[in-house]
Structure 1
Amino acid sequence: MMRIGRAATPSGGGQALVEMGARFTPALRAFFSRRAPMNDVEDLVQEVLLRIHKRQPEAVVNNVEGYLFEVAANVLIDRGRADRTRCRSAHCEFQEIHHPVDEMSPERVLQAREQMARALAALNELPERTRRVFVLVRFEEMSYKLVAQRLGVSVSAVEKHVMKALRHLNARLRDQNDADHAGQRDTRRPG
């Protein structure tokens, strides 16, 4: 049983309790390793020691071991509440595999510039009105209704111009990708 009182005893001082807590650290680690994820064990042990250090220095603890493990159980309960509140189980650790670094190699930069040049060339192949509608909708982020008002056409006409532009761009970029892949296969073949 744990008893906290006001009378001073040799093991009742705050510093003595902290030293006892440090002595029981391996037992606390074992306690937490059976009840919590391994990567939380050290944090939980530190939380127990911190709570013991913060307690009232004049209070007396007759059963230090029992008190330590009661504090440890309370730390686990508090951690569980906090985890549920913060939905901790839904979080993932920041690891390279989950969040790969996007390398901007010179080759990727060159490929992106080439793709942009192809897209602009395909866009310039469109009739003036179709190109203008597409730029206003996709790049200027104007609504179909606003573009229709600005150009004096119906919303249906704006929709048709956007679809025409998308089909043309898709076809041109797909043709170019097919040509690129065919060229890569030809350069890999043994001569």
Structure 2
Amino acid sequence: MSAYVPALRRYFSKRADIVDIDDLVQDVLLRMHVRRQHAAGEDEEIANIEGYLFQVAASVLTDRARRDQARQRNAHFALTDEFHPVEELTPERVLGGQEDFSRLADALEEMPDLTRDAFVLHRFEDMSYDMIAQHLGISVGAVGRHLMKAVRFLAERDLP
């Protein structure tokens, strides 16, 4: 049966997710093994082993699709760090965050009023350039210049 593994892998690679291929191949081989065990006492040979093998592979795909639909597999998310990051809140990290926040607040206080207002509205209030311009009574181009000025001001102080 191992001679058919590459062909089964190619078959499944066109029909299933790459992460499921090994499991699908294993399911086919297991079904073939079980069939061989049940047919051991009987004189029932498979005339076209390759055709039968791919018929079993198609059946495995169908069974997997039914099982996935019943379990709503597509609606689940993997429990990975991407979706559930694990971060330790050590005293050092908390202190570092407080210091960064304090430095940012001090830098914002040092900025010219209009530059600070444009920056705060854009970064913290998620306002568009047009909305900021309207709110502050300046042109859209002036908003862009004030934001660039704020970014340079913070970069000079190694702030985000």
Normalised-by-shorter TM-score class = 0.5 to 0.7
Number of equivalences: 121
SS in 2 for 1:66: coil
Structure ranking higher on relative contact order (CA contacts 8 Å, 6+ apart): 1
Q: Find out whether 1:44 has 2:23 as its counterpart.
A: no
Q: Find out whether 1:73 has 2:54 as its counterpart.
A: yes
User: Unaligned 5+ residue runs, structure 2?
Assistant: 10-20, 36-42, 62-77
Provide Cα deviations, 1:50-97, integer angstroms capped at 9, x if missing partner.
9x8xxxxxxxxx854335542312355786xxxxxxxxxxxxxx8x9x
The offset of 1:116, in angstroms, is 2.8
For the 8 Å contact 1:131–1:165, the answer to whether it is kept is yes
Structure possessing the higher radius of gyration over alpha carbons? 1
TM-score by length of 2: 0.55
Please provide the CA RMSD for this pair: 3.9
The offset of 1:142, in angstroms, is 0.9
Aligned 1:105-116 pairs, distance under 5 A: 105-106=89-90, 107-116=92-101
The offset of 1:155, in angstroms, is 1.2
Amino acid at match of 2:105: L
1:172 aligned residue = 157
Identity score, percent: 34
1:138 aligned residue = 123
For the 8 Å contact 2:118–2:147, the answer to whether it is kept is yes
1:90 aligned residue = none
Provide Cα deviations, 1:115-136, integer angstroms capped at 9, x if missing partner.
2332222222212221111111
For the 8 Å contact 2:46–2:52, the answer to whether it is kept is no
TM-score by length of 1: 0.48
For the 8 Å contact 1:148–1:155, the answer to whether it is kept is yes
Aligned equivalents of 1:71, 1:136: Cα separation in 2:
67
